[in-house]
Amino acid sequence: MFTMESVNQKSGILLLDKVIGPTSRQVVNGVTSLLRTKKIGHVGTLDPFASGLLILTVNQATKIGAYLEALDKTYIAHLKLGIQTDTGDLTGETIATQKVPNNLDFAIINDVLHSFLGKRLQIPPMYSALKREGKPLYRYAREGLEVERQPREIEIFDIELLSFENDVIEFSARVSKGTYIRTLGEEIAVALHTLGHLISLRRKAIGNFRVEDAEPLEKVAFERLISIRKALSHLPVFEVDEASIKDIMNGKPVKLPEIGQIVLLVSDEKAVALYEKRDDGLYYSRRGLF
């Protein structure tokens, strides 16, 4: 008879505080070596110049990356005005300069930042990991090529000016999935009638997960795993009985209370599957987590 004892063993997410320097993929490779397990992914790529919260998905939790990726993200950024780089950050080459208006003050900058609140379209930068015909955009950029990118809808939920000194704006922003803070920084600079690039970027949160609860790479361990059940705590949860588990593992549709479009099914607090409601009122398997 099936039991839940083997489900989700050594599976879950790890909260890691990435340092400046390595790519997100290099961090994943380092953790893979430390934990001696091959199934590790990450949520929300951080550029090499950026630091902060990186969520790592381990073993069965690699199946839930998309549901964590959809969570809003919070950053603190430093935007240097007057200089534009080809990458939008301090790692790039200067491609243009422009005088910074001498009338900028806290009130003017704050008003401009608040004008970015809400939904808007944003064109992804060339220096990004988005792919075109299977090739990352940054590779085209390094070859001196620029390809057409479709604008994407993003949302700025909150943005706050923290300081302004020596033509450097420090701001925090809570944004939707797919938002490029480098591009946002450039857009802010243009709205201030100048140019700009990021000189630092730190991710403070993904959803309710905070960088203050994260560990450095050298302290990563299985003991720090957060269960899949807790990782998906933002989703509605339905406890299934043991008699239903076999049908759920076979992907059969089920009748559930209407508690949400996507529902996490659990048994004895262990994640079993994600089910989605369809037009006929039944819930259908979207992803097994065993």
Among residues 34, 36, 43, the alpha carbon closest in space to that of 177 is found at 43
d(CA 45, CA 25): 8
DSSP character string of 134-177: TEEHHHHHHTT-------EEEEEEEEEEEEEETTEEEEEEEE-T
The 3 state secondary structure assigned to 7-29 is CCCCCEEEEEEECCCCCHHHHHH
CA-based max dimension of the chain: 75
DSSP character string of 195-248: -EEEEEEEEEEETTEEGGG-B-GGG--GGGPBPHHHHTTTS-EEEPPHHHHHHH
Give the amino acid at 81.
Answer: L
Look at the block and give the residue holding tokens 């381990």: 58
Give 222: exposed, middle or buried? Use CB within 10 Å, 0-12, 13-18, 19+.
middle
Q: Which residues participate in catalysis according to the annotation? A: 47
Pairing verdict, β 262-267 and 168-175: unpaired
Q: Are 116 and 188 in contact (CB under 8 A)?
A: yes
Give 187: exposed, middle or buried? Use CB within 10 Å, 0-12, 13-18, 19+.
middle
